Structure 1
């Protein structure tokens, strides 16, 4: 006989869950998560410009609300005295110099392609005119105009020049218009913008290899960009904002360029032939004289 007053312990509540119930819950949760991820992906593909615009606003708000992010990331690369020793590393300087030369090489190549197309080149290996013009546009509008215009307007001092790292200027927020810097200021990063613009060159490649080529170049562009943070020349927010601005310009420009590709090609290809013919007639007359 059981002792009076002794309460038999109850079984754990999970014992009352039907067999396989937990697995079904996890399965349903996983299915819902995958559907949500697919929905977000489809939304990004449908409206990439809107997605990038929201991303730029969200990133800007994050860095404004939490300025400690900028200071903490820059401090990773600073010595106890506040100096940035990586700025004197010859290997890193050489890598940085490569990034500085790439825009000159790319834009010279694009100019050569456009000239060749304008004067009637028909090679199947030569990219179409609208593709070369697209690359020029991303560099010119995204990296050249927008990013460098911000550098002159915002007036943000570079990390190496602010008080926490041994300088004399105060730390200021991204997008905050101040006079802490006279020219070639910190916000936003021109070299990070040109590194991001480099990714537009994948559009010159055949469509079948554009995606793997893009993802193979992303780490290179990130390395080029983060060197500016390691050197004490830019904050992380300078780099992130530059990337998002250039990405926004690149996507918006590509959507317009793709719709007008044939018209652009017709206007450019062969447009230089009348000039070439006129020059040829002038040379013949000159020789005849």
Structure 2
């Protein structure tokens, strides 16, 4: 079964479960709440959040630097292809950027746990399906940091084997760790981090299917252009032939 359908199914299941049992969000958040505050308020957790929160930008800059040095002939080792860079830029911009931060977090007014009455705040708790909460901007639904945490799956997918498999596993662990920190800080409910991660994973799979035809290796070389440039018809014909060969 394609990962895309798995992620869509998990997202639908999450929406249904937390619509029927919104109290599960409160129950999980109470696990991280003790003595009048959330467990993540200490200095070590603050530092861990900073490191994990900036990791996506560091990885993206590293990949861009490797790609540029390869293009300039100053690097002989592995570097992402141009198509891989488009994949990375598109997924970070559309998933965590457009869908999560610009569309959901700024327009779905769910208060964060730390701001609700159940955790010594002032706002009323709202289940995920109610968007009329007291939060005005940068709200709880869905988690932006969980979204960028699970985006690390994208650069892992662009690596060549045998590094790709372990890197994807490590990326999922990274996403889970980032999500747990958000719960520990009282910044998000469980449904927020689950859906934040799943939204990004769905975007990643959609982008992968569009950018890399069936059978193509994401870490493989770019298709060669015809020698001498060729006419527009020759270029189109070569592209169609390459596409057909990739689909076999």
TM-score surpassing 0.5? yes
Equivalent residue number for residue 107 of structure 1: 60
Whole-Å separation in 2 of the counterparts to 1:192 and 1:266 = 38
Deviations 1:261-280 (A, max 9, x none): 7997779xxxxxxxxxxxxx
Deviations 1:134-186 (A, max 9, x none): 12222111111111120011111000111111111111111422141011111
What does 1:196-235 align with in structure 2 at a 5 Å threshold? 196-235=150-189
| Structure 1: segments with no counterpart, 5+ residues | 1-43, 268-289
Q: TM-score, normalised by structure 1?
A: 0.69
Q: Secondary structure at the match of 2:135?
A: coil
Shift of 1:208: 2.3
Equivalent residue number for residue 33 of structure 2: 78
Shift of 1:104: 2.1
1:87 aligns with 2:40: yes
Whole-Å separation in 1 of the counterparts to 2:222 and 2:83 = 6
Q: TM-score, normalised by structure 2?
A: 0.80
| Structure 2: segments with no counterpart, 5+ residues | 226-248
| C-alpha distance 189-118 of structure 1, shift in aligned 2 (>3 A) | same
Q: Give the alignment partner of residue 56 of structure 1, picking from 8, 11, 14.
A: 11
Equivalent residue number for residue 99 of structure 2: 146
Q: Which has the larger radius of gyration?
A: 1
Q: CA RMSD in A?
A: 2.4
Question: Moved runs in structure 1, 4+ residues, more than 3 A?
Answer: 113-124, 260-267
| C-alpha distance 71-265 of structure 1, shift in aligned 2 (>3 A) | farther
| C-alpha distance 265-106 of structure 1, shift in aligned 2 (>3 A) | farther
Whole-Å separation in 2 of the counterparts to 1:93 and 1:265 = 45
